[in-house]
Structure 1
């Protein structure tokens, strides 16, 4: 199958690399030509523009920062696509936006799925992402093997938009838990408990979570990556609260996490990893937990 992949950034590049390694013909495009160099060296073709990529592909995948980028690229790509082609948006997006995209694609016979992912850069590199797919079940079945080159937990969530609903709920939970975890480790340290011991206690107790086990350990080891920025977290949690507003629902806990993230963003941490928000909590409480890992 001829695959066109648009957006080869932190997540897109390793996802595209796994598609290429599985034997598919791959054409890539990114606004930054340097982002495609490694893929081209591995055997991918770099498209000169979005039109040529769309024309030469059986299936086009988008992996972009957010709704505005997806809307812009879609508007440029769709006129060059024909009936029988497939478009999959693997960005984290607005459910309402992808529903509109699906309707426009349907009018010209182009199949559409929204398929956001979870698992971070590490999961993308290892090909073990969770992929949440919304759209026609028969279309999902026809591309599931392709999706399996990028992920190992692949779910058909329902109609178009359902994939992004699931992703926004997942991220809202993750961000809320991350903010609570950061406060907890700072509170424990300020109260005199060894942070490494506290991490171990919670790890095997009812307060444990994947974000506690991995994220807090990373903080204590002072190995903060730049894998998922505060700016991206703010974008995702905004989409989640917008979804809730559209459904006349208040998200009280998520709204607290949203306010915290916005405050961290305003303080200059926007381009740092979400785990780096611990710096503000340390400063506010005159406690240092980064780099105290002693296990």
Structure 2
């Protein structure tokens, strides 16, 4: 299969790199010509326009920063969609928008899948990230071989749009966890605890999490560069709040998280790294939340292996 990939930023650049590393016939496009040139140097083919890529490829993957960007690309590709063509959306986007765009693709005779990823840029770089796939089963079977080159664990989540709903939930949880970790580390510092020891205490406890094992290290090293910016956080938690509003669920924590992230953006910039939220507490207390021996960047040390489908153990009948 010829695969197109549109959007070569922090996540898309790494996912497309996994396809190249595994010998996929890959065509690439991005508004940044330098990103395209780098992928071409690594063995990809410059895809030209989105329309040309849909014309030339069996499936086109999009990994873009906003629902508006995805909509603009799909509109360009749509005249070239037909039987045998598949659009795979790997952006974190609005579920209603993916359903709308997917219906247009399906109406033109093609297939559509929403496939957001979860697990951090360091795992996207090694093909060990997790992937949700929302589509009918036949389409899932068709795209699964492609997905297993980019991710370790692949979960078919049912209808188109379901994956996007689940993804914004996971990003909401990750953001809430980040903010509580910032508070926990600061209180422990104020209590005189050694923060290296505190990290290990948290990691072996009931309060442990993926966010702690990864982002706490970047906070404590002083790097605060998780390769994920506050504007993207705001997009994702805003989408989660919209799901709650649409369902009439009266959330209390979510609006506070949005307010806190908005304050972080005002202080450090719209596109500041999300882990810089610790600096709000450092400024408020005069404490330095730092410890020796932690890395400046995250590296996935798990060996790469071909991905596989995860089968839910408790799926409702």
Q: Structure 1 length as normaliser, TM-score?
A: 0.96
Could you say which residue in structure 2 is the equivalent of 1:230? Answer: 230
Q: Distance in 1 between matches of 2:224 and 2:179?
A: 15
1:192 aligns to what SS in structure 2?
A: coil
Per-residue CA deviations over 1:182-236 (Å, capped at 9, x if unaligned) read 0110111122222222222222122111212221122111122250001100110
Tell me which moved more, 269-278 or 23-32: 269-278
Q: Distance in 1 between matches of 2:204 and 2:226?
A: 28
Could you say which residue in structure 2 is the equivalent of 1:208? Answer: 208
Per-residue CA deviations over 1:19-46 (Å, capped at 9, x if unaligned) read 1222221110000111112210121111
Q: Distance in 2 between matches of 1:29 and 1:225?
A: 26
Could you say which residue in structure 1 is the equivalent of 2:110? Answer: 110
Given that 1:173 and 1:254 are in contact with CA atoms closer than 8 Å, whether structure 2 keeps it comes out as no
Q: Distance in 1 between matches of 2:215 and 2:34?
A: 30
Could you say which residue in structure 1 is the equivalent of 2:87? Answer: 87
Post-superposition shift, 1:283? 0.4
Could you say which residue in structure 1 is the equivalent of 2:77? Answer: 77
* 1:1-295 equivalence runs, <5 A: 1-290=1-290, 292-293=291-292
Given that 1:269 and 1:276 are in contact with CA atoms closer than 8 Å, whether structure 2 keeps it comes out as no
Per-residue CA deviations over 1:98-152 (Å, capped at 9, x if unaligned) read 0111111111111000000012221111001110111111101111011000001
Post-superposition shift, 1:287? 1.0
Given that 2:215 and 2:226 are in contact with CA atoms closer than 8 Å, whether structure 1 keeps it comes out as no
Structure 2 residues without counterparts, runs of 5 or longer: 295-317
Per-residue CA deviations over 1:72-106 (Å, capped at 9, x if unaligned) read 11111112222220000000000000011111111
- Aligned alpha-carbon RMSD (Å): 1.4
Higher share of residues assigned helix: 1
Could you say which residue in structure 1 is the equivalent of 2:315? Answer: none
Structure 1 residues without counterparts, runs of 5 or longer: none
Q: Distance in 1 between matches of 2:293 and 2:3?
A: 47
1:146 aligns to what SS in structure 2?
A: helix
1:48 aligns to what SS in structure 2?
A: coil
Post-superposition shift, 1:255? 2.4
User: Which runs of structure 1 show a deviation greater than 4 angstroms over 4 or more consecutive aligned residues?
Assistant: none
Q: Distance in 2 between matches of 1:294 and 1:37?
A: 37
Post-superposition shift, 1:237? 0.4
Given that 1:238 and 1:258 are in contact with CA atoms closer than 8 Å, whether structure 2 keeps it comes out as yes
Whose RCO is larger (CA < 8 A, sep 6+)?
2
